[in-house]
């Protein structure tokens, strides 16, 4: 299977397709009529019946999207914000539980 899903298809036989079939004539056997109908019938794709490809792994199911919580809004003051220090950086990163990030900040602070 090249890409995506490949679905089962079946002939879609309607009375209109049988009535307008140029190959059907009087005196034909049932097998001949069935063959003429199959030859001229449109196909219908059965989307609820895909062919299984055991060599392809497909992932489906409920997915979640996770993100950081919104940042806190500071009150509007006339004073410019204080410069960031290692202590304020560690406090800000406490909301992001990442041991590697916190360890690198601590190492920078002690080193």
Inside any domain, residue 108: yes
In three-state secondary structure terms, 28 is coil
pTM equals 0.39
Asked whether the predicted pLDDT for residue 1 surpasses 50, the reply is no
The residue segments making up the domain with residue 89 are: 83-111
Q: How confident is the model over 21-36, as a mean pLDDT?
A: 91
What per-residue confidence (pLDDT) applies to 51? 84
State how far the Cα of 97 lies from the Cα of 60, in Å rounded to an integer: 28
DSSP state of 91: H
As for how many domains the chain has, the answer is 2
Inside any domain, residue 36: yes
State how far the Cα of 20 lies from the Cα of 39, in Å rounded to an integer: 13
Inside any domain, residue 111: yes
Inside any domain, residue 102: yes
**b or e along 92-101 (b: 16 or more beta carbons within 10 Å of the residue's beta carbon)?**
eeeeeeeeee
Query: Which of the two residues, 3 and 33, has the higher pLDDT score?
Result: 33
Q: How confident is the model over 100-107, as a mean pLDDT?
A: 62
Inside any domain, residue 34: yes
Q: How confident is the model over 48-64, as a mean pLDDT?
A: 78
Asked whether the predicted pLDDT for residue 61 surpasses 90, the reply is no
Asked whether the predicted pLDDT for residue 31 surpasses 90, the reply is yes
């Amino acid at each position: 299977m090249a890409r995506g899903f490949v679905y089962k298809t079946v002939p879609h036989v309607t009375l209109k397709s049988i009535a307008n079939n140029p190959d059907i004539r009087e005196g034909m056997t049932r097998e001949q009529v069935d063959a003429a109908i199959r030859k001229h019938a449109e196909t219908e794709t059965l989307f609820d019946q895909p062919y299984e490809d055991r060599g392809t792994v497909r992932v489906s199911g409920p997915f979640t999207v996770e993100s950081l919580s919104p940042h806190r809004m500071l009150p509007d003051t006339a004073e410019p914000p204080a410069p960031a220090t290692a202590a304020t950086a560690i406090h800000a990163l406490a909301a992001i539980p990442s041991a590697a990030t916190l360890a690198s900040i601590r190492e920078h602070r002690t080193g």
